[in-house]
Amino acid sequence: MSSAPRWAVEGRDWPNAEHSRFVDTGRLRWHVQVMGAGPVLLLLHGTGAATHSWRALAPLLASGFTVVAPDLPGHGFTAGRPAGGLGMSAMARAVGELVGALDLPPHAVVGHSAGAAIAIRMAIDGAARPAAIVGLGAALLPFPGLGAKLFPTLARMLFVNPFAPHLFARMARTPGETARFLARSTGSTIDAEGVRCYERLFATPGHCAGAITMMADWDLESLKRDLPRLEVPSLLLHGDGDAAIPPGNAQGAAAMIAGARVTPLAGLGHLAHEERPVEVAALIRDFVGEGR
């Protein structure tokens, strides 16, 4: 069992591998996929995922955009840690350095779940100057009620337990467990290729540790205070069956962002872009195209 995902092993027949490259910036060696031509569209996946999350959506968007999709630090095949760890601001700075090194400043950013928080943090902090932001199942507000205290506390408890990533990896190797976990935790049913990729990543303690560390370092209270500072046209797409982020959070976040729109996605869960990529791609193209 490997500690971190290996490109030659876990990355074998990786979705869209022909568009993969490895880029060094400071303390990080990034795995990033670049495809298409046109205005730059930066795709940022959520906690626990990687570039495979865009396996169907990225090629659809590449018909009109230059798509840039990295594995975030601590995830997938990106190695190293940015200065400041895996907290939101540090991740935003690191992604900004990546697009700078690629000389591909984003015209727009699409972020899934925690990736949407990074996209907004980049815009507020000046790490990027996008003309539009699209959030998919965006995780922008603290969990409601008691969960606001329990969730980060649990993540920190797991973070200090050196055995936690190994326990998660062991569970992921149980046949069928990853598919059951995804359906239960997200409300989405995805294709076999997607489940296979999640299985490979979840079975490596290094990837699990990255996701746990990111959750332990996450500060949604600060982001909530800063949301009114966002001046970028924003669209929040949210599955009405999302089991991870309550759909009401999208309305709550949009109310704090001037001019933000919310579009419900009927019958879809937290991985809506993996369930119905054609529908999601059309909504992204329509919204981002307005800003050209």
Range of the structural domain that residue 46 is part of: 17-290
In a domain, 11, yes or no: no
In a domain, 7, yes or no: no
Lowest-confidence segment of 135-144, 186-195, 246-255, 276-285 by average pLDDT: 135-144
Instruction: Kindly provide the residue ranges of all beta strands, DSSP E only, lying in the chain, ordered along the sequence.
Output: 20-25, 28-36, 40-44, 66-70, 108-112, 132-136, 234-239, 261-265
**Given a cut of 90, is residue 155 above it in pLDDT?**
no
**Cα distances (Å, whole numbers) of residue 205 to 74, 76, 107, 170, 172:** 11, 11, 35, 9, 10
In a domain, 239, yes or no: yes
Percent of the chain with pLDDT over 70: 88
In a domain, 50, yes or no: yes
**Total-model pTM:** 0.92
pLDDT of residue 143: 66
Helices 114-125 and 88-102: angle between axes, nearest 10 degrees: 70
CATH number at residue 62: 3.40.50.1820
In a domain, 1, yes or no: no
In a domain, 6, yes or no: no
In a domain, 10, yes or no: no
Residue type, 268: L
> What's the whole-number average pLDDT of the chain?
89
**Pairing verdict, β 66-70 and 40-44:** parallel
In a domain, 3, yes or no: no
Q: Specify the number of domains making up the chain.
A: 1
